[in-house]
A and B are shown apart, each in its own frame.
Chain A
Amino acid sequence: MSEIKIPTMADMAAQGLEPEILFWVGCAGSFDERAQKITRDICKILQHVGIGYAVLGTEESCTGDPAKRAGNEFLFQMLAMTNIEVLNAYNIKKIVTGCPHCFNTIKNEYPGLGGNYEVIHHSQLIQQLINEGKLKAEGGESFKGKKITFHDPCYLGRGNDVYEAPRAALEVLDAELVELKRCKSNGLCCGAGGAQMFKEPEPGKKDINDERMVDILEAKAQVVAAACPFCMTMLTDGVKHQEKGLEIQVLDIAEITVRANNL
């Protein structure tokens, strides 16, 4: 696909327009190089299917998730209320996020503070587009016959009972889907949640992402599909530790969709 033009809420508002959906990018999606790629891929999907969307750009800020999980409720609520003010000022009704942590926080914890929106995770958007026939898996890279597995992010799966949407995005690929030994509600955390991403792990025998690699190696997966920027970091590191970088690819659901459709 050619150039992508990313509209901001401020631009839209200046033209008196309201987008159908706000794409909440998140901190990782904004700053982490790997996650930025996924962010652009989500934009490509949105543009491809012609959904009117916008991002907040520099007006976006952390949802407060890591602060809240780490026990800093003050900081969380300060951020939440500031974000809600921005979202409400733009009259936002529907939000798609590129991160299960943002998804969980805005969906579950913002309503109590005055922020009521319909919130979906990008895997749910992709599932919906597939169901509506707007997205397929054609014209791009073929995943046919490849062994693909999905690592459930805690805040998408156990946190919010979203297990099928990301799998739906993989089912259209005609690939060989394999489940990890610990999957769905039994899924093993990547090790980044609860603000662990921002600290060294407590002393122990091994790192959690290395433990997760046991399942991944056992499944003999060639592609590990992720749906969370933090899982992405942890899984990519895990693959590197095992020196399996050439055999195992870690790709986000959005990246896989973009590749399969050559967007």
Chain B
Amino acid sequence: MKPTGKLLTAAAAALLALPGISSAQNIAREDTVIFDLDRTIRDPDNFNWMTDGTGIRRMHGAHQTMWEPLFILNYGTGDLDPWLATGYEGNADSTEFTISLRDGVTWSDGEDFDADDVVFSVNMALENEELSAREVATLRAQVAAVEKVDDLTVRLTLNAANPRFVVENFGVRIFGSFLIMPEHVWSRVDDPATFAFNPPIGTGPYELASAASNRAIWNRRDTWWGAETGFMDMPEPARVIFLESGGEESRAQLMATNQLDAAQNVSVGTFEAIRIQNPEVTAWHDGYPYAATDPCARQLEINTTVEPWDSANMRRAVNHIIDRGQIVNIAVEGATTPSRTMFVEYGSMTPFIDAVLKAGHGLSAKPDVAAGQALIEAEGWTRNGEYYEKDGETLSVAIHVNSASVEYTRTIDVVVENLQRAGIDARAVPVENSVFWGEVLPFGTYEMSYSWLSCGSVNEPWASMGRYTVADVVPVGERSPGFNNTARWDGHHAEAYSEIVDRMKGMALGDPAVPGMVAEAYGHLAAGMPFIPLVQSAKLLPLNTTYWEGWPSQEDYYNHPFHWWNSGHQIIHNLTRAN
């Protein structure tokens, strides 16, 4: 071969090796499944999920391949599918829960997984305030004590009645669950808050191969308790990669060229463009609008401690000015619907949504700018040219927005435009994903921001409503417990609201008094307006059937398609190699 030929061959080989991170250990592309990650893995050597408020130390594959949950909530059936546990029982007033663990589960280093691990993990969460992940904070706030009944049974005693305790803490209802850590590793650690847990071990069928800031690679182990006990077959993918794609364009290009098997959210236009180039790409629905309903409806968060937004009237003015219909049409390209309340519009939420609407607290899809401006003027602001002014100061607002998705930035572009036209000098402040979740939101260092922090309710109202009670108010600069009430909403409406919501907390799921209480509490929420619900969330996740089949869809609804959640185990187990 001529030298130029050699050079070209070498260059081609190098190019081929670039996307093929899989070249190590010779695992073929068709045995590898590549998931998309929408954020940078900050600190890729640290696997202590309990000190990470952003979720990245789990969603890069750790809690989809290595750490398994006790249960997984099935969105299709509403059942709690058992995983590491086999079942649970609560006492009559829902203050004590007994969880039965599965027999034969082992950690990847061969040690048994048993009640000692659960008791140890829960106690660690109770005793260490510095462990700040949302799931840890939630558990700490609810559990009074934990005890081992026998090797496969634990009993948890709660501070207050909570019929939803298991699904809320151990059921992967939204994104994650409280993950059990191996006692034989963590008990040797002096300070769990500074422990990096590297190399990490879990009970799942995969183990860490390597992690860097833009990707994490997980290889299938030779053995797994699930296959040995007959719980489930070994998953087919020999390797799972989570890769930071870096934005809509590269996400789409990677998908079109089969370098990605499951992508994060894209816009409708981009999805249609991908399909033209790669007909093997599917989504939740086969036709328009393709997207699956996400349980976290979108909202404008407001920091109620910052002037002039500390006034409820000013917040309500903004609510009147925002054009939800325009957000749906422009930002989400018609793929969703305007929110009418704070709740996700699942069928199981209908009684509560209807109660709120009947009480007259529903939100309008159309703006009423004049009503909004009247409220602003009543607060002493006068319009001088483009903007409102008071005492020589212009009425302005900076809206922090996570720059990870076009959906986020485009929605805020619409909101900024609405406010500008109404006389408020609004501007968007785009922030990197991990800064947004790690620094801006929990510490209240914003005026307004775009997020979904009332997310939680799927089939009952308390999980969402309970996030805005006065018990969770902390000063700006301190971390909001579990991202609850980051608005720092207090005052008489907030207190009246909290009182009703606290009473609701201990009531059974089907209690007929609940819808009425929801409507009453919602009256205070609508008057105080600590956040402004915008639109329902639709996630358009392109899924590639070139190498793998068995992705979740409306037709094959074994669970929702959110592959960065702790329920990702189900997706990986369900994948079969395409012919």
Are the chains A and B members of one assembly?
no
